[in-house]
A and B are shown apart, each in its own frame.
Chain A
Amino acid sequence: MAEKASESSNSISLNTVDGKIFKVSPTIANQMQTIQSLIKAYDSSRVISLPHVNAFHLSKIIEYLEGKSATTVSAVKEFEAQFMKDLSLKQLKGLLIAVGYLKVNELLELMPKTVAKLIENKSVEFLRKFFGIVNDFTPSEEAKIREEIAWAFDGVDED
């Protein structure tokens, strides 16, 4: 309980793009590199605005950082699996951007690994849509690459 008290006195307020204010302990805030540098830049009593992060993504990141404190390796693994399982691909994408912006080191290994697992059997078209990439090949250029590695197009999941 003593810890809670000190938390509230030192806690840092984070204002998300959709106007929600989160109070987090310095231990949690310090695990986000971007916030660390913002704390140094601003007076710590001020509310830090996060223009690229919404409440859902920030709450997820905080949930992860708070929940990860499990003691055993297998418990951490189980927690991570459950945490990722609850997220849709769309939510994962938003979370990925938030994690990248906030530079949450703890998640910079797990997120790419999870996304890689989910997209490994997806089609090229799915990938373009997912990452918002415009196809800049001419049809003949694309056909040529596809022909060279035709086997890599076997066993692709339906979108």
Chain B
Amino acid sequence: MANIVASIEYLVHEILLRLPVKSLLRFKCVSKQWLALISEPKFCHLHTLHLYRTSRVFPSALLVAPSLSPTCPIIPLKFKNVSDSFKFHNVKVPKGTVIQTFNGLLLIQRITSQGLSVVHEYFVCNPTTNQSVLVIFPTQQLIKLISLFICFEPLKSPHYKLVSIRLKNYKSLSDMTNIFLSPNIVDPDCVVNVYSSETSSWSEPGFTFTSPVDKPPSQNDNVYFNGSLYWHIKSLKKCIYLDLSTQSFKTCPMPLHIEDKTVMNFCESGGHLYLVLRSRFASDISIMELNEEGFEWSLIFHENLSLNPVLSLPFCVVKQENDEDSMVVVFVNFKTMSCNLMNSSLEDLSGYCPHLLNRARAVVYQHYQNLSFVPPAKDNCKLVFFCFLVRIRRDK
């Protein structure tokens, strides 16, 4: 009989691995045993792998990130033909600004003033499982001067990485004032440190590079793609990337003949890298895709969307398994819309999510719903433990 019970447990496990995220969240209520199983990091990772292997690595939803909001609306993408499942729902996030999303994990920056000082904090959050953790930096670093990036590739590892980039020779507030006073003589040496959630620690001492611009590469306009962090640097009209495995900086070629175009957005989706361009004197939008070898760009979309000239920043390109479902999310005529890449048909997303009506301060990101585990910070525990020990000694 024990044999039978074990084989059923195995089969239940196999069934659960094949359920969508939404069903699994609901089935946490079935029993304590199921809650424990569905929350277990190993199960969560296996489930994410299963999800990615069957539907490949395509976004499953759009995440709307209003600034300073403790909730973000999620608009599911997969079930377009089912009438009511296109409804949005809210997820809880640490209050702040979403600065990056990657494979279901969000990086959130929170800036608060405490008395006279301004406190910068970062959080890593999986809004699907409602888990979040405060990023802990080595104490000597001035967080305000750091650009932070998150890299998470479930198919390679269940652990995420954070990449921090800061100017090497500026460590205090007075150094920072110098940057503002004389921006032309900034020492462009940067230090890169990498944090791994596997070991809960930062790589020390990190590695140094000389930034091609006079600041550390910006937190905006960056894309993690294929093991490297990419930036499009507007002032240089160049794409550069930091290969994290070889710890080297390289230049990525730009598309040819785009002198009359402005780069509106630089993004990644479903394992492809995209540049969204707009003609300088017309409202044409073109999307270029980098080929697999990483040397050439090809035009995959070109359309006149009669965009509002001022507020028409495209948010993201969303690649789907079937090319006819891929889209670019744009802001047209004061509305957030999805534009199909195959037939250029526009759909008003605010119909699905009222938040978008008042979109002035919201950004739309592609989103991957998965159960990926965000481990609690270990350093915090150590610190508490340490204080506790000190207190015991004093009491003696």
Say whether A and B bind each other: yes
Q: Name A's B-contacting residues (CB within 8 A).
A: 52, 96-97, 99-101, 103, 108, 111-113, 115-117, 119-121, 123-124, 127-128, 131, 133-137, 142, 145-146, 148-156
* Interchain CB contact under 8 A, B4 and A100: yes
CB-contacts of B17-50 with A (<8 A): 17-20, 22-23, 25-35
- CA separation between A97 and B34, bound complex, in Å? 19
Which B residues are in CB contact (< 8 Å) with A96? 8, 11
The answer to whether B31 touches A133, judged by C-beta atoms less than 8 angstroms apart, is: yes
A54 to chain B, nearest CB (A): 14
Distance (Å) between the CB of B392 and the closest chain A CB? Answer: 35
Which residues of the other chain, A, contact B3 by a CB distance below 8 angstroms? 101
CB–CB A52/B27 < 8 A: no
Other CB < 8 Å A-B pairs besides A124-B26, A136-B31, A151-B89, 14 of them? A97-B4, A99-B11, A100-B11, A113-B18, A117-B18, A120-B20, A120-B23, A128-B31, A136-B33, A137-B29, A137-B31, A146-B29, A152-B26, A154-B87
A127 to B23, CA, bound (A): 11
Contact partner of B14 among A112, A124, A148, A153, CB < 8 A?
Answer: A112
Q: Does B248 contact A (CB under 8 A)?
A: no
Chain B interface size range: 20 to 34
Contact of B29 among A111, A117, A142 (CB under 8 A): A142
Out of A100, A111, A124, name the residue touching B27 (CB < 8 Å). Answer: A124
Contact string, B123-144, partner A, CB cutoff 8 A, digits 1/0? 0000000100000000000000
In contact, B7 and A133 (Cβ under 8 angstroms): no
State the CA gap A116–B3 with chains docked (Å). 23
Contact B30 A145 (CB under 8 A): no
- A112-B29 contact in complex given A100-B7, A100-B8, A103-B7, C-beta closer than 8 Å: no
Please state if A145 and B35 are interface contacts (CB–CB under 8 Å).
Answer: yes
Complex contacts, B89 vs chain A, CB 8 Å = 150-151, 154
The reply to whether the CB of B300 lies closer than 8 angstroms to some CB of chain A is no
Asked if A131 and B25 sit within 8 Å, CB to CB, the answer is no
A151 to B85, CA, bound (A): 11
Once A97-B4, A101-B4, A136-B31 are accepted as A-B contacts, the answer to whether A152 and B15 lie under 8 Å apart by CB is no
Shortest CB–CB separation between residue B12 and chain A, in angstroms?
7
Contacts of A149 in B (CB 8 A): 25-26, 28, 130
- Dominant SS among interface residues on chain A: helix
Chain B neighbourhood of A152, CB < 8 A: 22-23, 25-26
Bound Cα distance from A145 to B90, whole angstroms: 15
List the 8 closest pairs (A to B, CB-CB), nearest first: A151-B89, A100-B7, A116-B18, A112-B14, A152-B25, A152-B26, A112-B15, A149-B25
A134 near B8 with CB under 8 A, answer no
A156's closest neighbor in chain B, by CB? B26
Residues from chain B with a CB closer than 8 A to the CB of A148 are 130
Residues of B near A127 (CB, < 8 A) are: 27, 30
| Alpha-carbon gap, A97 to B130, bound state (A) | 35
Provide the residues of chain B in CB contact with A101, threshold 8 Å.
3-4, 7
Report the bound CA distance from A128 to B85 in whole Å.
Answer: 24
Q: Is the C-beta of B10 less than 8 angstroms from some C-beta in chain A?
A: yes
- Chain B residues, CB < 8 A from A145: 28-29, 35
The residue in chain A whose Cβ has the minimal distance to the Cβ of B21 is A152
Whether, in the assembled complex, B204 has its beta carbon less than 8 Å from a beta carbon of chain A, the answer is no
Q: Chain A nearest CB: distance from B8 CB in Å?
A: 6
A97–B32 contact, CB under 8 A? Answer: no
Contacts of A97 in B (CB 8 A): 4, 7-8
Q: CB-nearest residue of chain B relative to A141?
A: B32
Q: Which residues of A contact B29 (CB under 8 A)?
A: 124, 137, 142, 145-146
- Nearest residue in A to B92 (C-beta to C-beta)? A148
Query: Across the interface, which residues of A come within 8 angstroms of B87, CB to CB?
Result: 154
A119–B12 CB distance below 8 A: no
Give me 13 A-to-B residue pairs in the complex whose CB atoms sit less than 8 angstroms apart, sorted by A's number.
A100-B10, A101-B4, A108-B11, A113-B18, A124-B26, A127-B30, A136-B33, A142-B29, A149-B28, A151-B89, A152-B22, A152-B23, A155-B85
Partner of B34, one of A52, A113, A116, A133: A133
Task: Tell me if B395 is interfacial: C-beta within 8 Å of chain A.
Answer: no
Residue B84 lies at the interface, judged by CB distance under 8 Å to chain A? yes
B residues 98-141 touching A (CB-CB < 8 Å): 130
How far does the alpha carbon of A147 sit from the alpha carbon of B7 in the complex, in Å? 33
- Structural contact, A115 and B15, CB atoms closer than 8 A: yes
A145 to B25: give the CA distance in the assembly, Å.
Answer: 9
Does A116 contact B26, Cβ atoms closer than 8 Å? no
Closest to A115 in B: B15
* Complex Cα gap A123–B35 (Å): 15
A124 contacts across to B, CB distance below 8 A: 26-27, 29-30
B28 near A136: Cβ-Cβ < 8 Å: no
Given the complex, which residues of B lie within 8 Å of A103, measured CB to CB?
Answer: 7
**What are the interface flags for B72-104 relative to A under an 8 Å C-beta threshold, 1 for contact and 0 otherwise?**
000000000000110101110000000000000
Residues of A contacting B90 with CB < 8 Å?
151
- Which of A152, A154, A156 counts the most B-chain CB atoms under 10 A from its CB? A152
